[in-house]
Amino acid sequence: MKIAIVILNWNGRDLLEKFLPSVVAHSKEDAEIYVADNNSSDESISFLKEQYPQVKIIQNSINGGFAKGYNDALKYVNADIYALVNSDIEVTENWLKPIKAVFEQNSQTAIVQPKILDYKDKSKFEYAGAAGGFVDFMGYPFCRGRVFMELEHDHGQYNDIANIFWASGACFFIKSDIYHQLEGFDEQYFAHQEEIDLCWRVQNEGYAIQYVGHSEVYHVGGATLRESNPQKTYLNFRNSLFTIAKNVPKRFVFIVIFLRLVLDAVAGIKFIIELRPIHTWAIIKAHLSFYRHLKKMMSKRRALSYKQTNYFYCFSIVWEHFILRKKRFSQIK
């Protein structure tokens, strides 16, 4: 089973210098390594050619973001498994072997995620993925090891192999034939939550997504857009609504959209109270963009078979966390 590690880069020369060495050191015997460059204007390409001639370079003509960047680049990668790895990921020794074993043992497994810990504090799980993701009835994402901003310490509680609902795009393994069968990421997302949409579509086709806790990586997080950036707020809220329109079963979809309108309004009020009105405006813009694109998003539903009907883990993670004060995944029923 041939694995290709593909790192998407945009003006990330410093990140490549810091994190590429671990990928090369711990992967060269088990995978080919690519850097897909999104038309960088810094010294990324010259750095790679001088320091890492063994790494293959794919140069995209524009910066199309995460979704289009990978869709364009993966047309030129020949492998059974794509390992899509952020440029701010440090990998560990033998990290690929447990993941490869899971793919080989279960033909229905389409996507796999390793354990993602925080590079800045390696005793804790990292926000973007932790120990595998789930959604509630309203489509709000959360993880084993991370509920909203509550991050658990890693005590080995998730050193398992488990079925999950979504895998993090920070370190995302997918069978290449399934990736192309589903036409990859939705490029209208640009960045943020496109991996949840793809995972949902994969399960709508009857495939499984698994987490492998014996493979560990460390993620910096926020290296492209920090949490304080209103553009990140805009993309997260808008793209989450896109995913609902495309994937929630038809009998629920408009109920869920209405409930999200109410809860997102509450989030906007919270930002005002916190004296961060620019994020409230980002939520408003996210909804305006969503309603402009609603017809197009709904039209994408027709190609789906909807085998995944029981998609949600709990009814409301907002209620569980903010009202019932549950901070750990194990407390959520």
Do 77 and 187 lie in one domain? The reply is yes
| Amino acid residing at 313 | Y
Q: Counting every residue, how long is the chain? A: 333
Q: What mean pLDDT do residues 254-273 have?
A: 96
260-264, 309-313, 324-328: segment of lowest average pLDDT: 309-313
Q: What percent of the chain has a predicted confidence (pLDDT) above 90?
A: 91
pLDDT of 305 over the 60 cut: no
What's the pLDDT band for 87 if we cut at 50, 70, 90? very high
Do 261 and 158 lie in one domain? The reply is no
The domain total for the chain is 2
What's the pLDDT band for 200 if we cut at 50, 70, 90? very high
Distances (CA, A) of 333 to 182, 311, 312, 321: 32, 14, 11, 12
pLDDT tens-digit series, residues 99-141: 999 999 999 999 999 999 999 999 999 999 999 999 999 999 9
pLDDT of 258 over the 70 cut: yes
pLDDT of residue 308: 55
Cα–Cα distance measured from residue 313 to residue 191, given in angstroms and rounded to the nearest whole number: 24
What's the pLDDT band for 155 if we cut at 50, 70, 90? very high
Q: Is residue 33 part of a domain?
A: yes
Q: Is residue 333 part of a domain?
A: no
Q: What mean pLDDT do residues 60-70 have?
A: 96
Do 235 and 213 lie in one domain? The reply is no
Do 117 and 263 lie in one domain? The reply is no
Do 242 and 202 lie in one domain? The reply is no
Do 270 and 160 lie in one domain? The reply is no
Do 278 and 177 lie in one domain? The reply is no
pLDDT of residue 304: 58
pLDDT of residue 67: 96
Domain-terminating residue out of 161, 187, 219: 219
Distances (CA, A) of 175 to 47, 172, 178, 253, 320: 30, 10, 6, 29, 34
* H-state helical runs in 119-249: 176-181, 194-204, 230-247
Q: Is residue 317 part of a domain?
A: no
Do 155 and 257 lie in one domain? The reply is no
pLDDT of residue 47: 98
Do 124 and 95 lie in one domain? The reply is yes
pLDDT of residue 42: 97
pLDDT of 36 over the 70 cut: yes
pLDDT of residue 250: 86
5 conformational bin, left if phi > 0, alpha if psi -120 to 50, beta if neither: beta
pTM for the whole structure: 0.94
Q: Is residue 321 part of a domain?
A: no
Do 44 and 154 lie in one domain? The reply is yes
Range of the domain at 134: 3-219
210-214, 229-233, 256-260, 299-303: segment of lowest average pLDDT: 299-303
CATH number, domain with residue 165? 3.90.550.10
Q: Is residue 314 part of a domain?
A: no
Strand pairing class (109-118; 171-175)? antiparallel
pLDDT of residue 271: 96
Do 193 and 114 lie in one domain? The reply is yes
Do 147 and 198 lie in one domain? The reply is yes
pLDDT tens-digit series, residues 168-177: 999 999 999 9
Q: What mean pLDDT do residues 147-153 have?
A: 96
